[in-house]
Chain A
Amino acid sequence: MSAPYGEMTDGTVIRVGLDISSADRFFPGPPKAESGDFALNSAEREDVKAGKPGVISVWDVAFTTPSEAYEFLPPPPRRRFAFHLPIKDILGLAYGLQVFHSPIQDERKGAYGHCDLQDLTTSRDGLTRKDIRADLVAIADRNAIVVVGQVG
């Protein structure tokens, strides 16, 4: 479905967060990321069980808007949050994470901007996985958050 075009070392990617309607989340102030926004979905967990590295989808803002990224999400449609993550900040974490440009072969706008953020799981204990997600939350908290989707 996708083919890696190479490692990215600069720019900004967006991560569309949890598969939960924004209406079901509570925020005392402006919307904030939490660790679940950077957790693997069920298909990604299946890939890990099959021996593949832990990868989550992110999108290069140079080629994909948050709304375009939202269009690639599986149904049902829900209002969700998109978090901006500078790649240098991701690579600056102490876990050796990598961002690979991995366009989706699809006619829809924004498909070219798809990227893989890896590796969130391989050879990592449970606490380290939590640390990775928490550090990604901290990066997201320093950058823009936008609402995407119109329903629910």
Chain B
Amino acid sequence: MNAAQQCYDRHAAAREFRFRAAEVNDKYRPTQIVRFSALRATIAPRENKPSVEERWSTYLNSLPARQLASEEVVDAARQLWRNIRQLYDRATPPNARPTDEGGLRWSWVSGGRYLEITLFLATYEWYFRDSNISLSDGDEEVPVTTVPAKLVDALRKLLE
């Protein structure tokens, strides 16, 4: 390899490094990533990232195998989520975690407002707090087949 070729390769490597750094740092990844090699430029298709809905579904499906919640609780969670989405189709998946009692805790927080749903099995409780105006609301032992209008209103306040 002659000196000119080595110099060209070094520049190509530096270019690739810069592009990769940009790829890591760029919050909004480009739809296509251009990679340079010493001899040619190639265009690689962007890998498809799963949507939030897909990640949410994967998380729920994974819980029984990870012994974090039973199949019954996950079924109830899916049903409740479907019911919420039917009443408010702009609802985004919640922050979620298993509870010590074998249920699930869902929560949303934004702009000083907080909503949480604690799912037991056939029933759940919900609690809403608007810290800006010191207002609280909620209910206990709500069947998973039911979504109170006040709960939908609370979710709307958080997400709109």
Contacts and interface: CB of A to CB of B under 8 A. Distances in A.
A137 B115 CA distance: 11
A61 interface: no
Contacts of A18: 97
A25 B112 contact: no
B81 interface: no
Interface residues of A, number: 22
Interface residues of B, number: 27
A107 interface: no
A5 interface: no
Interface stretch (A51-59, A97-105, A109-117, A127-135): A127-135
A137 B109 contact: yes
A127 B66 CA distance: 33
Contact of B109 (A24, A33, A131): A33
A137 B136 CA distance: 14
B150 interface: no
Interface in A130-146: 130-131, 134-135, 137-138, 141
B95 A26 contact: yes
B96 A131 contact: no
A131 B114 CA distance: 10
Contact of A34 (B52, B56, B105): B105
Interface stretch (B12-20, B39-47, B127-135, B141-149): B127-135
Nearest to A31: B95
Given A131-B129, A135-B131, A28 B110 contact: no
9 contacts: A24-B97, A25-B95, A34-B95, A34-B107, A34-B109, A134-B116, A137-B107, A138-B129, A141-B110
Contacts of A25: 95-97
Contacts of A32: 95, 107, 109
Nearest to A132: B129
Contacts of B66: 24
B107 to A, nearest CB: 4
A138 B112 contact: yes
B122 interface: no
Interface string B86-121: 000000111111100000010101101110100000
Interface in A1-60: 18, 20, 24-29, 32-36
Nearest to A34: B107
Contact of B127 (A33, A94, A130): A130
